[in-house]
Structure 1
Amino acid sequence: MSRALSTSDRETWLRTLSFLLLGSVCYALPWSVLAADNNASVLRIQGSNTIGARLGPALVEGMLEEQGLSAIRIEAGMVENEQRIVATNADGRRLSIEVAAHGSGTGFSALADGSAELAASSRPIKDSEASNLAALGDLTSREAEQIIALDGLAIILHPSNPLTALSTEQLAQVFAGELSDWAQLGAPPGPISLYARDDKSGTFDTFKELVLSANARTLAAHAKRYESSEQLSDAVSQDRNAIGFIGLPYIRQAKALAIAAGDSQPMLPTPALIATEDYPLSRRLFLYNQPALANPWARALVQFAHSPRGQAIVERSGFIAQNVQAMQVAATPEMPARYQALTREAQRLSVNFRFQQGSASLDNKALRDLPRLLDYLQQQNKLERKVVLVGFGDAKADVARAELLSKLRAMAVRRELSKAGVSFRDIIGLGDELPVAANNADDGRIRNRRVEVWVY
């Protein structure tokens, strides 16, 4: 059993981990930085429309308020999907922060040519982009890659469409144009109209990776393309034959479908299933910065986004905050007996731990979730033998090997939490049971390799 740590020891561990992840927990800008030239643009953010349309400006506004600025307002830019947040500091000087939302790929291009200090992205940085930006540092590192929120791609229909669920394979066939009439899916007959985001969009990149490429398909040429999430959603809700994909806050008047991947059960894009990243089309929203964080406003915004106040803004903006919460889970027949026992006696927490590709090391989100989880366990008095870790993995030819590997993943999380003095009620490995994604592609296998946290 691990040595019990005092409260001060745990707080020291939390501060150390937070510093390693990003630097000091609170970051106040010096007045010399606040005293910018009148109307100067102190920070430029480019990239994802999903982030930039609403969440990005709201986080900037909140950060400026926290820094003590006044007369804060959001102005439309000279170009569509661009905004400017203007504020006044204590010396009466005006400054601004620019947010341009033309797609995730444009954010990385802007970092490369120096026209932005932060890239907003609704998908992870590509290997080619990280290589192109290597002169700025390792953009995949925990210092550079900041997960600020969770989201789910909602597959949306006209509200009158009676269809309730599709598999990712059926989605791929629909958006490739192979299934072209609703009658082929059990709905009333009519030609299927396809609505998709544009090629620069991280939303399209995510859909392409999780649905089209995973099923060896490409988007049909006749799909209608949109730069704006809101315009796409509104168009779907006005077309009885429409189907489209969109970020969670932009469902608006449309109807969302339940989605299944591989052997998973169909799941609606609910906050709980997106928080755990079990929903097949869940995704992370990112801010990418130079690892050295040379721009102090970029540093302040990133830290504000991770703070409780920043995560509250995430939730108000329609996305899923990364707060740890307990959830009651209903038992279903396909659950293993040990798992059904947990559903009767314990609660599942809204955090899953996942791992770097091809590695037993926790990924960047998991590293930041460690102090969040410890803080929850402290507040709820769950540090001593109240926690169960449940590991899962992808399918293996040897069932015993799959179970062992899943338990080893749970042990990796145990090792990190034990450093802060957490003791455990049980560590369970369930192998390839209860998949949340298909195992025929790397992304699906990574999603299935996860560790759940349950508390008594």
Structure 2
Amino acid sequence: MTLSSKSFFSLIVILLVGHAGWPTCIHAAAQKLLLTGSSTMAPLMSEIGRRFESIHPGVRVEVQTGGSSRGLHDTRRKIADIGLVSRALKPEERDLLAHTIALDGIGIVLHASNPLTALIQEQIVAIYQGKITNWKTIGGQSARITVVNKAEGRSTLELFLEYFRLKNSAIKPHAIIGDNQQGIKIIAGNRHAIGYLSIGARQQNLWATSGSGSAPSA
């Protein structure tokens, strides 16, 4: 089953530029346009970059990940031409110009072989706090739960903590990941894992729960 497009919370996908506006290097010959930041945005921006290069043969578009915090850091310091951030800007970040290009969703994901059809918010919170450590406790198979969490500086972590009203220090993870592809690899290879990923990173061997006790519809 693929990840549902009706996951429990959404994130804003934005492009950042300095207050001077869009970079001017795209008008010069044999130039590179560097975009850094959110791994959630990387696949989309890589495709946009390829199309841009076909229209502007003298420009090479390079997309590097590292999390939304890197996008903010690199744009402020003019290391990157454009920053990629998958959340709304905070008040103290308004020195940058943000251009919303899409809305994405984040879903709690399990291995497709997990027999559970839904999880409620209280169960998810208890799992991430280490209060529920075996799937059997909530109606699954008798197996130790592998908790996968996102690294500091990742927008998906911030949104996850905000939505579930958790502090990162209260989470008891067995694995900490950076980008979505790392999460996919771990969860797809571990039938007893739980994590949260961008809907845009959906895979056939994972499924998502809404977090409200309802099973995904797609």
Distance in 2, matches of 1:219 and 1:249, equals: 28
Find the partner of 1:228 among 152, 156, 179.
Answer: 179
SS at match of 1:49: coil
Whose radius of gyration is greater, 1 or 2?
A: 1
Q: Which residue of 2 aligns with 1:407?
A: none
8 Å contact 2:26–2:59 — kept in the other structure?
A: no
1:231 deviates by 2.4
8 Å contact 1:47–1:104 — kept in the other structure?
A: yes
- Asked whether 1:100 is paired with 2:99, we answer no
- Asked whether 1:200 is paired with 2:189, we answer no
Find the partner of 1:239 among 185, 190, 193.
Answer: 190
1:51 deviates by 0.7
Q: Which residue of 2 aligns with 1:113?
A: 77
Q: Which residue of 2 aligns with 1:158?
A: 111
SS at match of 1:165: coil
8 Å contact 2:187–2:206 — kept in the other structure?
A: no
8 Å contact 1:46–1:107 — kept in the other structure?
A: yes
Amino acid at match of 2:36: Q
Distance in 2, matches of 1:33 and 1:116, equals: 13
8 Å contact 1:234–1:254 — kept in the other structure?
A: no
8 Å contact 2:187–2:194 — kept in the other structure?
A: yes
SS at match of 2:214: coil
SS at match of 1:108: helix
8 Å contact 2:134–2:143 — kept in the other structure?
A: yes
Find the partner of 1:190 among 121, 143, 156.
Answer: 143
Find the partner of 1:250 among 201, 210, 213.
Answer: 201
User: What fraction of aligned residue pairs are identical, expressed as a percent?
Assistant: 25
Judged with a 3 Å threshold, the aligned counterparts in structure 2 of structure 1 residues 215 and 208 are, in CA distance, closer, same or farther, namely closer
8 Å contact 2:181–2:201 — kept in the other structure?
A: yes
Q: Which residue of 2 aligns with 1:62?
A: 51
SS at match of 1:179: coil
8 Å contact 2:128–2:173 — kept in the other structure?
A: no
Task: State the Cα RMSD in Å.
Answer: 2.5
Q: Which residue of 2 aligns with 1:51?
A: 41
Higher strand share: 2
Q: Which residue of 2 aligns with 1:175?
A: 128
SS at match of 2:62: strand
1:187 deviates by 0.8
Deviations 1:270-323 (A, max 9, x none): 5xxxxxxxxxxxxxxxxxxxxxxxxxxxxxxxxxxxxxxxxxxxxxxxxxxxxx
Judged with a 3 Å threshold, the aligned counterparts in structure 2 of structure 1 residues 267 and 149 are, in CA distance, closer, same or farther, namely farther
Amino acid at match of 1:51: M
TM-score scaled to structure 2, two decimals? 0.78
Distance in 1, matches of 2:172 and 2:207, equals: 24
SS at match of 1:232: helix
Amino acid at match of 2:205: A
Aligned length: 195
Amino acid at match of 2:39: N
Distance in 2, matches of 1:127 and 1:161, equals: 41
Q: Structure 1: where are the runs of 5+ without partners?
A: 1-29, 70-87, 89-93, 271-456
Q: How does 1:432-443 map to 2 (within 5 A)?
A: none
Amino acid at match of 1:153: I
Distance in 1, matches of 2:175 and 2:135, equals: 18
8 Å contact 2:118–2:210 — kept in the other structure?
A: yes
SS at match of 1:244: strand
1:259 deviates by 1.8
8 Å contact 2:117–2:215 — kept in the other structure?
A: no
Judged with a 3 Å threshold, the aligned counterparts in structure 2 of structure 1 residues 227 and 117 are, in CA distance, closer, same or farther, namely same
Distance in 2, matches of 1:98 and 1:223, equals: 33
Amino acid at match of 1:46: T
1:224 deviates by 0.5
Judged with a 3 Å threshold, the aligned counterparts in structure 2 of structure 1 residues 215 and 235 are, in CA distance, closer, same or farther, namely closer
1:105 deviates by 0.9
TM-score scaled to structure 1, two decimals? 0.39
- Asked whether 1:122 is paired with 2:86, we answer yes
SS at match of 2:51: helix
8 Å contact 2:75–2:82 — kept in the other structure?
A: yes
8 Å contact 2:75–2:83 — kept in the other structure?
A: yes
8 Å contact 2:148–2:193 — kept in the other structure?
A: yes
